[in-house]
Amino acid sequence: MHRHLAADLARLPELLEATRARATDFLAGLTGRPVVPPWRAPEPEPLPEQGAGLHGALAEFAERWEPLMSASAGPRYLGFVTGGVTPAALAGDWLTATMDQNPTSALDQAGQQLERLTIAWLREMFGLSPAHDGAFVSGATTSNTVGLAIAREWLGDRLGVHVAADGVGALGGRVRVLSGTPHSSIGKGLAVLGLGRRALTEVPTLADREAVDPAALEEALKAAAREAAGPCVVAANAGTVNTADFDDLLAIIELRDRYGFWLHIDAAFGGFAALSPAHAHLVAALDAADSICVDLHKWLNVPYDSALQFTRHAALQARVFQNSAAYLGPLGDEPDLIHLTPENSRRLRALAAWFTLRAYGRAGHAAIVEECVAGARALGRAIADIDALRLLAPVRLNVVCFTLADDPAPERLADLAADLTDDVFVSPTVYAGVPALRAAFTNWRTTQDDCRRIAEALSRHVPRYASTEIS
Ligand SMILES: *Cc1c(COP(=O)(O)O)cnc(C)c1O
């Protein structure tokens, strides 16, 4: 054994204690540090020949890299859609690495059984019936891609070909994926799957909305039928990233009864509306989908590398993702998890989710959702009161989309966002052709005090960007 490995093994409890202390210090300083510190590239580091041992590595990391890390686990990092990490989820994640299980096979089944239990809990939490099988994947992009892969197999069945066996060419290019405001990951998934980004047709939305117009969707389905384009996939949206808008799922399901398509629903963060009595109606019809994407590293507040993929068509899923090998055993009625997703070996993703659900239950996670919604509302009201800012959409759930009232040029918005990074991190976007900023609330730590601090920072910085300066 290399001398540093031997030494670290001999001092493991002490070294883990030192690591714990670093983690605790970081978390204690989370609300004090800039939300995104200014970037300055550290000196390049050559590949270490002998290394410095864990103690040396900790010291080096603390000095060089830790100060550059953002407070993305903290309460005012509202860019992208970025959840935090609950205390129990953090503990679960630590133990995931500690135990280093590979939960994909019944030959060593504790990890796999814990995943199945956690999936059943989450299925219930999102109001889904047992007709949906679930699987843990690395994020919503992979979840969307897996859903579309199962859809691809289903399309093959409709056309009398076997895509998993014969390749995507067997479909003859006749694939159409219809969506109102698809997340960018849908195009990426289509590229990966050989269906091609051009398979995606964006269907007009309702006026001043990101939700698909059901009448326009029906027209698109009729056009596909006229052109004998074969069955379609509809990628419906339950929570768009700019304005948290929801497609009318009931109207889409009614269209499916008439036109027969695969219904995939991207409910990456919007699925959590199921936890809020005032918003649950938005996803009440989720169960009818053929495949569903829900992200866990966003609103469940588990660390990165966690999402769920649900489908009513597990047999088709196993046809795509089966990984037959002599030592892995037959597929059977309940295929091992290795046969359901792109990865083979992987970490025990469910453990962080199991911990946070066991620790805080449905009610604790419902409270996170409600507090985030209240935070978004509060920020929305504050922005409405700042003359130089304009809300671009009502705050429907947890996202606030706003811009400069005059001349919202992308560079001015980027400068404003950069001015704000001590207090809040927001992302640039374009909504209905207008450059904008958006703040997404998904972190369990965010309080009304944080919202006041953000509003105060906006009031302080925005006047510099008002085109008629008052000073
Ligand atoms: C975040 C998000 C995705 C992609 O999620 P990743 O976890 O980044 O892969 C897909 N769809 C929606 C609606 C999202 O919000």
264 CA → ligand 1 middle, Å: 14
pLDDT in tens, 244-272: 999 999 999 999 999 999 999 999 999 99
| DSSP, res 436 | E
140 CA → ligand 1 middle, Å: 5
Q: Which atom of ligand 1 is nearest to the CA of 307?
A: 7
Q: How confident is the model at residue 199 (pLDDT cuts 50, 70, 90)?
A: very high
Ligand 1, atom 6, residue with closest C-alpha: 140
Give the type of residue at 17. E
Q: Which of 302, 232, 290 is nearest to 260 (CA)?
A: 232
300 CA → ligand 1 middle, Å: 13
Contact 376, 398 (CB under 8 A): yes
Beta-bridge partner residues of 438:
401, 427
Q: Is 183 in the pocket of ligand 1 (CB under 6 A)?
A: yes
Contact 241, 247 (CB under 8 A): no
For residue 470, pLDDT over 50 is answered with no
* Residue to mutate (ligand 1; options 143, 148, 237, 241; most atoms within 8 A of CB): 241
299 CA → ligand 1 middle, Å: 11
* Residue to mutate (ligand 1; options 286, 295, 341; most atoms within 8 A of CB): 295
Task: Report how far apart, in Å, the C-alpha atoms of 279 and of each of 276, 304, 398, 451 are.
Answer: 5, 26, 11, 21
Is the model's pTM score more than 0.95?
Answer: yes
| DSSP, res 7 | H
Q: What is the mean pLDDT of residues 319-330?
A: 81
Q: Is 141 in the pocket of ligand 1 (CB under 6 A)?
A: yes
Q: Is 189 in the pocket of ligand 1 (CB under 6 A)?
A: no
Q: What is the pLDDT of residue 228?
A: 76
Residue 148 token pair: 């579309």
Q: What is the pLDDT of residue 332?
A: 79
Q: How far apart are CA 388 and CA 177, in angstroms?
A: 40
For residue 328, pLDDT over 80 is answered with no
For residue 19, pLDDT over 90 is answered with yes
pLDDT in tens, 63-91: 999 999 999 999 999 999 999 999 999 99
Q: Is 264 in the pocket of ligand 1 (CB under 6 A)?
A: no
268 CA → ligand 1 middle, Å: 6
Q: Which atom of ligand 1 is nearest to the CA of 240?
A: 13
Q: Is 81 in the pocket of ligand 1 (CB under 6 A)?
A: yes
Q: How far apart are CA 315 and CA 154, in angstroms?
A: 10
pLDDT in tens, 344-371: 999 999 999 999 999 999 999 999 999 9
* Residue to mutate (ligand 1; options 143, 183, 210, 293; most atoms within 8 A of CB): 183
Q: How far apart are CA 55 and CA 18, in angstroms?
A: 8
Q: Which atom of ligand 1 is nearest to the CA of 143?
A: 9
Q: Is 154 in the pocket of ligand 1 (CB under 6 A)?
A: no
Q: What is the mean pLDDT of residues 375-392?
A: 98
Q: Is 140 in the pocket of ligand 1 (CB under 6 A)?
A: yes
Q: Which of 466, 468, 469 is nearest to 408 (CA)?
A: 466
Q: How confident is the model at residue 471 (pLDDT cuts 50, 70, 90)?
A: very low
pLDDT in tens, 210-253: 999 999 999 999 999 998 778 999 999 999 999 999 999 999 99
Q: What is the CA radius of gyration of the chain?
A: 24
Q: Is 245 in the pocket of ligand 1 (CB under 6 A)?
A: no
175 CA → ligand 1 middle, Å: 23
For residue 467, pLDDT over 70 is answered with no
Q: What is the pLDDT of residue 39?
A: 95
pLDDT in tens, 33-60: 999 999 999 999 999 999 999 999 999 9
Q: Is 185 in the pocket of ligand 1 (CB under 6 A)?
A: yes
pLDDT in tens, 398-450: 999 999 999 999 999 999 999 999 999 999 999 999 999 999 999 999 999 99
Q: What is the mean pLDDT of residues 197-221?
A: 98
Q: Is 241 in the pocket of ligand 1 (CB under 6 A)?
A: yes
Q: pLDDT: is 82 or 329 the higher one?
A: 82
Q: Is 266 in the pocket of ligand 1 (CB under 6 A)?
A: yes
* Residue to mutate (ligand 1; options 141, 265, 301, 398; most atoms within 8 A of CB): 141
Contact 370, 278 (CB under 8 A): no
